[in-house]
Amino acid sequence: MLQTPHQSPQATVVPVQRTSSREQTGPWHSEAVCRRDEAGLFFAPSKEPTAARLSREQAAKRVCARCPVLVECREHALLQPEPYGVWGGLTAAERRVMLARRRRHDAELGQPAQVSRIA
Please state the domain extents for the chain. Answer: 31-109
pLDDT value, residue 14: 38
Q: Is 73 annotated as a binding residue?
A: yes
Tell me the average pLDDT of the chain.
76
pLDDT value, residue 26: 57
pLDDT value, residue 3: 47
Q: Are the C-beta atoms of 63 and 38 separated by less than 8 Å?
A: yes
Query: What global pTM score does this model have?
Result: 0.66
Radius of gyration of the chain (CA): 18
Instruction: Give the single-character DSSP code of 87.
Output: B
How far apart CA 50 and CA 117 sit, in angstroms, is 52
Q: Is 64 annotated as a binding residue?
A: yes
Residues of the chain under the 70 pLDDT cut: 1-26, 37, 111-119
